[in-house]
């Protein structure tokens, strides 16, 4: 392989650094209406009446819409393949408002100043109701978050609307209680993980207009253009063929934009007025009225024999899906699906619980998508078990973790195709200096501790998501790659071109890639579920292989030799025996002119019956101030198995970025509310994300494996890297000062009072 495995610079790196790419707001045309949303000041209320007369009469106001003016068909804004597993529990605008920030009315005006002034003129009479603000009391609370009777689910997800249960899930293998009774050592602990904001640089924004044929064109900063088209078709009650969704350059998403947050509001304004419209969320709006990671609480029981073999894992609890259920069933299920398979020496395992409705910001997708919460609760318990058994935590894992070629209860006989996790642990403990530092040491008045954790994720969604790709030979002998995936700054476009270049024996600079336009691009579910490298990458590889075969066949026809004797060598096709060759540019030109017109292209669709897991071992060294409880991260070591590393430089950047987000969840970040359901952390002044001085040293290495179902042996890396910091840092703090933090984040106050106790 000439290009796969090389640190090829991002194809758009220089352009981004010099400010050349166009983002959504850069594409807005003159005369575009500005859309603003009136939002609920109450956590739970019913609108008795709403008076918009003064707002409509204001000069410059083009459109004011309430729940009385929009279709009343329920839908979901979760970016998931059809039929979506998330409940259809939303309306564009509803008579019921279910959290502080929920949409009440839409105003479109000639400029932002006019639109904001019009919002102040709308008079709303609310019947204020008692909100459900506590995860623990949500089930069977006197208030029902969704009192309506027309909620709809495509699958039996365990929705019990009247009990505030959005979904239920149980995975159970073997007799858990009997195995626990047989175990010589059993540990139990309860945990809480907090809601976390995605905190991407570019807020939500959408620009809509009608094209010359009267079709709705939606230009939006989204990870899921094809899913957005389907959502809009249902919400607006128009055919999907009348909608075109375009994704320009996107300024980050981290899962937030796997939800269709902003698109429907300017879209309905454009349909009502015939005029272009835009909406740009302020930072406060992005915090209070989009989505966050699901907060959770779990109790874990884990049993083992004295020889250190883990025999049973039992995880039970619930997650807070907030006011709406997008991603509720899937995030909750992933918490178990991406944790239980790791320790495969078990004789019994169970994961069960509910996702519950509350009157808070909806939960959504955030990098890690449930595996982050599951990793925290399981790995903290493994560390506690290691202490109870008096076994080194690294050794306990090496004895119990699944290996390549093995199976587990969860896989029901299917064997693991690739894993270098054991090598990741061995290399990681060497890099961190485990033998010399574990469990603690003192330095400069601080108490240092080290801890570790392991994790897994997936690569795409097995048996559900498929991606298509086309690779076309242009008339000048270069190539065009058409995909529907979304490069969010990760460099996925570059990686896809590296794969195509290797297949077609040329360099990436001979390619142009066009992505994410539902009128032009082949179908792709979007950039989520760690799917782009594995799913879209395989589609690109297969399409390039098909095109390669067609090019060789055409060259053989022109050279009048058997196709099996022709080689594609970059800019030409050569017949080695005779030395004759055909220039690729000449072949391409003759494919689009003359009597034998036949432009050459390759097309492929790929979906996998499995979701091969990438793995990671994370090791943390912290220094704890015994006087204040302040935790400083000194060193973080990550060793990752993502199969074949397609682009080491981009993979390293991905890993480092995910680790920083994991550090934020471990030590700083928390979405917080007051007693009335108002979001307190609604700006970067109140919501703390890690700065450069907060993260110490981060070191990343790779232990390659070869995934037989992946393109060139590759698996994913995008999400797995966020999962280990929380449990590894929690273990390091415990090893330093003996304080076991079971509720994130790990604040100085919690550590200080823990030491006092």
pLDDT tens-digit profile of 175-188? 999 999 999 999 99
CA 407 to chain centre: 27
The strands making up 567-569's β-sheet, listed across from edge to edge, are 567-569, 572-575, 580-583
Contact 501, 511 (CB under 8 A): yes
Structure tokens at 640: 């990752």
CATH of domain 461-607: 3.30.365.10
What does the pLDDT look like over 332-380, one tens digit per residue?
999 999 999 999 999 999 999 999 999 999 999 999 999 999 999 999 9
- Which stretches of 474-587 are assigned E, i.e. beta strand? 479-483, 511-515, 567-569, 572-575, 580-583
Contact 452, 401 (CB under 8 A): no
Kindly state the helix (H) or strand (E) to which residue 659 belongs, with its residue range. helix 648-667
For the residues 514-540, what does the mean pLDDT come to? Answer: 95
Q: How far apart are CA 351 and CA 176, in angstroms?
A: 10
pLDDT reported for residue 426: 98
Contact 637, 619 (CB under 8 A): yes
CA 355 to chain centre: 18
pLDDT reported for residue 596: 66
CA dihedral 56→57→62→63, nearest 10 degrees, is 10
For the residues 31-54, what does the mean pLDDT come to? Answer: 98
Interhelix angle 393-400/371-389, nearest 10 degrees: 110
For the residues 482-489, what does the mean pLDDT come to? Answer: 91
Q: Do domains 16-129+198-288 and 461-607 have the same CATH topology?
A: no
pLDDT reported for residue 646: 98
Query: Which residue, among 654, 310, 618, has the nearest Cα to 454 in the 3D structure?
Result: 618
Residue ranges per domain, the chain? 16-129+198-288, 135-196+292-403, 417-457+612-757, 461-607
Cβ-based neighbour number of residue 649 at 10 Å: 15
Interacting residues of 647 by C-beta distance below 8 A, sequence separation 6+: 5, 6, 7, 8, 491, 494, 495, 498
Kindly state the helix (H) or strand (E) to which residue 382 belongs, with its residue range. helix 371-389
pLDDT reported for residue 114: 98
Task: Read off the pLDDT band of 105 (50, 70, 90).
Answer: very high
Query: Which residue, among 696, 717, 713, 274, has the nearest Cα to 457 in the 3D structure?
Result: 717
What does the pLDDT look like over 704-749, one tens digit per residue?
999 999 999 999 999 999 999 999 999 999 999 999 999 999 999 9
In DSSP notation, 20-88 reads -S-BGGGGPPTTPEEEEEEE-SSSSEEEEEEE-HHHHHSTTEEEEE-GGGS----B--B--PSSPSS-B
Enumerate the β-bridge partners of residue 592. none
| CATH 3.90.550.10, applies to 135-196+292-403 | no
> Above 90 in pLDDT, residue 488?
no
CA dihedral 461→463→464→467, nearest 10 degrees, is 80
Cβ-based neighbour number of residue 21 at 10 Å: 13
CATH of domain 417-457+612-757: 3.30.365.10
pLDDT reported for residue 757: 86
**Sign for the pseudo-dihedral over CA of 568, 571, 576, 581:** positive
DSSP assignment letter at 700:
E
Structure tokens at 223: 């990870």
pLDDT reported for residue 529: 87
CA distances from 125 to 119, 291, 323, 377 (A): 15, 27, 21, 44
Contact 733, 739 (CB under 8 A): yes
In DSSP notation, 461-481 reads -TTT-EEEEEEEE-TTS-EEE
Query: Which residue, among 55, 45, 50, has the nearest Cα to 143 in the 3D structure?
Result: 45
For the residues 574-594, what does the mean pLDDT come to? Answer: 92
Contact 223, 528 (CB under 8 A): yes
Contact 100, 276 (CB under 8 A): no
Preceding peptide of 83 cis, ω within 30°: yes
For the residues 568-588, what does the mean pLDDT come to? Answer: 95
Q: How far apart are CA 330 and CA 369, in angstroms?
A: 8
pLDDT reported for residue 592: 85
Question: Average per-residue pLDDT in the chain?
Answer: 97
For the residues 106-127, what does the mean pLDDT come to? Answer: 98
For the residues 570-587, what does the mean pLDDT come to? Answer: 96
Task: Read off the pLDDT band of 279 (50, 70, 90).
Answer: very high
Enumerate the β-bridge partners of residue 468. 605
Share of the chain above pLDDT 90, in %: 97
Q: How far apart are CA 519 and CA 729, in angstroms?
A: 47
Contact 456, 613 (CB under 8 A): yes
Instruction: Report residue 18: phi and psi, to 5°.
Output: -100, 10
Q: How far apart are CA 83 and CA 81, in angstroms?
A: 6
Q: How many residues does the chain have?
A: 757
DSSP assignment letter at 614:
P
CA distances from 533 to 331, 403, 456, 501, 616 (A): 21, 23, 16, 15, 17
Q: How far apart are CA 277 and CA 263, in angstroms?
A: 11
Structure tokens at 170: 């149980």
> Above 90 in pLDDT, residue 1?
no
CA dihedral 192→195→199→202, nearest 10 degrees, is 150
Q: How far apart are CA 569 and CA 555, in angstroms?
A: 12
Share of the chain above pLDDT 70, in %: 100
16-129+198-288, which class in CATH?
alpha beta
pLDDT reported for residue 597: 74
């Amino acid at each position: 392989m000439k290009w796969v495995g090389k640190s090829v610079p991002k194809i758009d790196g220089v352009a981004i650094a010099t400010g050349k790419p166009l983002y959504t707001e850069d594409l807005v045309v003159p005369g575009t209406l500005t859309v603003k949303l009136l939002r609920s000041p109450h956590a739970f209320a019913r609108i008795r009446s709403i008076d918009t007369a003064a707002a409509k009469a204001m000069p410059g106001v083009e459109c004011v819409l309430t729940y009385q003016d929009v279709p009343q068909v329920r839908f979901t804004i979760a970016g998931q393949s059809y039929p979506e597993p998330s409940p259809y529990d939303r309306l564009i605008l509803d008579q019921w408002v279910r959290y502080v920030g929920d949409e009440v009315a839409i105003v479109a005006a000639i400029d932002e100043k006019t639109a904001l002034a019009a919002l102040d003129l709308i008079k709303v009479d609310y019947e204020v109701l008692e909100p459900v603000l506590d995860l623990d009391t949500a089930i069977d609370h006197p208030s029902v978050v969704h009192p309506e009777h027309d909620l709809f689910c495509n699958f039996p997800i365990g929705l019990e609307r009247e009990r505030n249960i959005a979904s239920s899930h149980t995975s159970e293998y073997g007799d858990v209680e009997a195995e626990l009774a047989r175990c010589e050592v059993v540990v139990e602990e309860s945990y809480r993980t907090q809601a976390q904001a995605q905190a991407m640089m570019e807020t939500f924004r959408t620009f809509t207009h009608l094209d010359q044929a009267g079709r709705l064109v939606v230009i939006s900063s989204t990870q899921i253009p094809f899913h957005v088209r389907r959502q809009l078709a249902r919400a607006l009650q128009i055919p999907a063929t009348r909608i075109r969704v375009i994704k320009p350059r996107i300024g980050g998403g981290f899962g937030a934009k796997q939800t269709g947050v902003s698109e429907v509001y300017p879209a309905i304004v454009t349909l009502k007025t015939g005029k272009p419209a835009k909406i740009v969320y302020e930072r406060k709006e992005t915090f209070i009225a989009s989505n966050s990671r699901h907060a959770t609480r779990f109790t874990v029981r884990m049993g083992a024999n004295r020889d250190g073999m883990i025999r049973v894992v039992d995880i039970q609890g619930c997650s807070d899906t907030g006011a709406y259920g997008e991603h509720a069933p899937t995030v909750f299920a992933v918490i178990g699906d991406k944790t239980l398979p790791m320790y495969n020496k078990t004789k019994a395992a169970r994961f069960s619980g509910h996702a519950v409705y509350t009157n808070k910001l909806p939960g959504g997708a955030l990098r890690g998508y449930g595996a982050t919460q599951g990793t925290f609760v399981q790995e903290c318990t493994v560390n506690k078990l290691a202490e109870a058994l008096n076994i080194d935590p690294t050794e306990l894992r090496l004895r119990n973790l699944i290996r390549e070629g093995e199976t587990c209860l969860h896989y029901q006989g299917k064997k693991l195709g690739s894993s270098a996790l054991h090598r990741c642990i061995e290399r990681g403990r060497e890099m961190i200096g485990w033998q010399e530092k574990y469990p603690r040491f003192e330095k400069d008045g601080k108490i240092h501790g080290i801890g570790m954790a392991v994790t897994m994720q997936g690569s795409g969604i097995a048996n559900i998501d498929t991606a298509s790709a086309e690779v076309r030979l242009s008339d000048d002998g270069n190539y065009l790659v058409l995909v529907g995936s979304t490069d969010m700054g990760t460099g996925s476009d570059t990686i896809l071109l590296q794969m195509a270049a290797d297949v077609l024996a040329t360099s990436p600079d001979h390619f142009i890639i066009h992505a994410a336009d539902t009128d032009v691009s082949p179908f792709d579910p979007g950039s989520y579920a760690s799917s782009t490298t594995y799913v879209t990458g395989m589609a690109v590889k297969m399409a390039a292989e098909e095109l390669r075969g067609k090019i060789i066949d055409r060259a053989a026809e022109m050279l009048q030799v058997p196709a099996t004797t022709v080689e594609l060598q970059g800019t030409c096709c050569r017949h080695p025996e005779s030395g004759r060759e055909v220039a690729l540019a000449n072949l391409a030109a003759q494919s689009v002119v003359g009597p034998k017109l036949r432009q050459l292209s390759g097309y492929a669709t790929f979906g996998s019956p499995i979701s091969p897991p990438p793995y990671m071992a994370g090791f943390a060294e912290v220094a704890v101030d015994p006087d204040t409880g302040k935790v400083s991260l000194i060193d973080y070591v990550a060793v990752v198995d993502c199969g074949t590393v397609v682009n080491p430089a981009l993979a390293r950047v991905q890993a480092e970025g995910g680790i920083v987000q994991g550090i934020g969840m471990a030590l700083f970040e928390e979405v917080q509310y007051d007693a009335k359901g108002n979001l307190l952390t609604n700006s970067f002044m109140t919501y703390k994300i890690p700065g450069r001085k907060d993260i110490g040293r981060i070191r990343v290495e790779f232990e390659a494996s070869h995934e037989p179902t992946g393109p060139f042996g590759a698996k994913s890396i995008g999400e797995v890297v966020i999962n280990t910091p929380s449990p590894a840092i929690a273990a390091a703090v415990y090893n330093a000062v003996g304080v076991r933090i079971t509720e994130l984040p790990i604040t100085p106050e919690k550590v200080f009072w823990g030491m006092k106790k």
